[in-house]
Structure 1
């Protein structure tokens, strides 16, 4: 059951810091919040509002609450391979193949748009942009960004579930183009509030009102970025599956199931007859029966889940383990040797660049999932055997 932290703030986090609570309470004081703010089990302090916050708003959207990685999320694909099959291939070779097939770090894009499936996805996005008047002049290389991972906590993993089935699993979003779209509209919202004399407790609470031209432009570009993020994950997953199949000498990997979900986005929903814009800042859709992905931290378990449709939880669930210390703190406290110990038994590329992603810098994913028991059911538990990250 959730804790009532304030009149209209419910929290599912058994481990939470005061800054996160204060950020949620501050958001809840905005006049257009309905019915309440929900903090997910992985909630932790963020910029303006906490990561792991679900924010329902009537007649307005807060661009900074959606964040700069619009549509960031997860995709998981179940293959036809089993754990016993993995003894036939070299996982280090798979890691190297994936690193060549998918541009990894921020600023690293495809040299050209060359795969048929890539071109088809680019055409879809071009047509959507033209139809909806989406301005992409700030990102002339957006086509080459499709199918690239990015850095931070974005990753690609090969996993094995509780039945021994092999899964491909990855985390990414709308890349540089989504960031440009977000930053543009965050500035517009802040300038609009200032011009109209609207006072907010934090500049990152600045909002756009439904019915305004600025709101309509943001929603059009937001939806485009959300679609880019989903297609970006599908593009990378197709490449990942292809590399896995080729290593086995097969034409395909025997994919039987795919789950693709956002965890930074806004959508239109209804509560008690009132239509709201539901912003999930680090949370997934957990409406009843909806499948989703909840990753653990680097080196720990991840989960494929099914939503329970909790109204108090605003039909949402956590998006991961959630940080318990900053990247700067983690780099000061841990070493590459510490990370290597935490990743024992998992094929990855060692180095100082990923120390801030060490599991000890995150909340305990098992505790997060225990806190989420009334939000989702666990369908599959995934254990990592190979990990690829961008810097």
Structure 2
């Protein structure tokens, strides 16, 4: 049987293996992937998922294995960004006919959004006890990081824990193929992760400049094991990934509590649950060698491992089980992937088109979310077909409520 992926040789580098049959891939993304493939630290090949598109610094939807080195820009600034989903014992018929109060309750429970020049509505004013308790477990290591990098003390760290953010981050109430109610959310390490990522990306660039490193792209500057900042970056990125996972857990509990104020029927949550990163780096063994695997917009899909692949505000999402495909470095896509940039989406699509595309979903239908309209993203069904080698579908979810920042 013909393999589902496309093999492309890169002069002066390792090959690309791309799970992109039947989905659009812009030339800029291929150029970024090719630049990464030419780095001397990259092992075996670079894998591209079907949601691949141009990113800042490195390509979204890429899996980059490296020997004894890490590229901070390939991890990005939303370190540990990922998804969490929880199945409940609620059924479709248990949801109210009018879903607006349900959305409003979730929006009150979880800080989200941002207003320049005003108090940040996406941060806590009065921090809940559960957030304080979670922060107490994260704080000692953060204090140690701040002793070496004092500028991190100025971030919204504690006040962003348990909050959603903006852009493509969301909270949804979904129904699966059997009518079970799920809660699903997408967020990461918020302001503090951004500060950590931005700082180390700049330090890597400065290091490369000092050593006259011959890079195909300055954004792909990397730290090698034993170098001045390598250990600090590993420590910081690991902490940010824990912050992100904790952030999602806190938000999920707030969502569940909020739903209980609207739906009187008792229910259990976390009947099935997944909490997975899709912007991160960790050590793994592939093809008999221990390497650092950076997934920027990609999910771990080891054999039997559950993951989440969301569509868009108006499209289906999927709970999947990994097949452990060796050539993808046991990975799959993290979503549908953008077809149009945020700027282009705002230029191209109208509010009327957005409202039609999100018909039946209780969500924002204003100019502020046009850049997140479903048509700005690739067709999720084509994306899933392109990676049939990588995952099996366990559940198909369709949102009925969507909260955006």
Contact kept? 2:88, 2:270, Cα under 8 Å: yes
Q: Which runs of 4+ in 1 moved over 2 A?
A: 127-141, 249-255
Aligned partner of 1:167 among 169, 174, 182 = 182
Q: Distance in 2 between matches of 1:341 and 1:253?
A: 34
Aligned partner of 2:125 among 111, 118, 122 = 111
Aligned-residue CA RMSD in angstroms?
1.5
What 5-or-longer segments of structure 2 have no aligned partner? 115-119
Q: 2:5 matched to which residue of 1?
A: 2
Contact kept? 1:242, 1:252, Cα under 8 Å: no
Contact kept? 1:145, 1:175, Cα under 8 Å: yes
Residue 2 of structure 1: CA displacement?
A: 0.9
What aligned pairs does 1:181-220 form with structure 2 within 5 A after superposition?
181-220=196-235
What aligned pairs does 1:78-117 form with structure 2 within 5 A after superposition?
78-87=87-96, 90-106=98-114, 107=120, 108-115=122-129, 117=130
Q: 1:265 matched to which residue of 2?
A: 280
Q: 1:347 matched to which residue of 2?
A: 362
Q: 1:298 matched to which residue of 2?
A: 313
Residue 134 of structure 1: CA displacement?
A: 7.1
What 5-or-longer segments of structure 1 have no aligned partner? none
SS at structure 2 position matched to 1:185: helix
Residue 137 of structure 1: CA displacement?
A: 4.4
What aligned pairs does 1:1-391 form with structure 2 within 5 A after superposition?
1-7=4-10, 8-14=15-21, 15-87=24-96, 90-106=98-114, 107=120, 108-115=122-129, 117-130=130-143, 135=149, 137-138=151-152, 139-249=154-264, 253-390=268-405
Contact kept? 1:33, 1:57, Cα under 8 Å: yes
SS at structure 1 position matched to 2:95: helix
Residue 250 of structure 1: CA displacement?
A: 5.1
Q: Distance in 1 between matches of 2:240 and 2:311?
A: 25
Q: Distance in 1 between matches of 2:207 and 2:343?
A: 34
Contact kept? 2:169, 2:187, Cα under 8 Å: yes
Contact kept? 1:288, 1:307, Cα under 8 Å: yes
SS at structure 2 position matched to 1:312: helix
Count of aligned positions: 388
Contact kept? 1:78, 1:166, Cα under 8 Å: yes
